[in-house]
Structure 1
Amino acid sequence: MKWTEVEEIALQLADAHPDVDPLKINFVDLMRWVIDLPEFDDDPKHCGERILEAIQQAWIDEVH
Structure 2
Amino acid sequence: MSLKWTDVLEIAIQLAESKPEVDPRYINFVDLHSWVLELPEFSDDPQRGGEKVLEAIQSAWIEELD
Name the TM tier (shorter chain): over 0.9
Moved >6 Å (runs of 4+): none
Identity of aligned residues (%): 62
**What RMSD in Å do the two structures reach over aligned CA positions?**
0.4
> What's the counterpart of residue 36 of structure 2?
34
In structure 1, stretches of 5+ residues that fail to align are none
Q: CA deviation at 1:19?
A: 1.1
Q: CA deviation at 1:22?
A: 0.2
- Equivalents in 2 of 1:18, 1:63: separation in Å? 10
Count of matched residue positions in the alignment of Structure 1 and Structure 2: 64
**TM-score, normalised by the number of residues in structure 1:** 0.98
**TM-score, normalised by the number of residues in structure 2:** 0.95
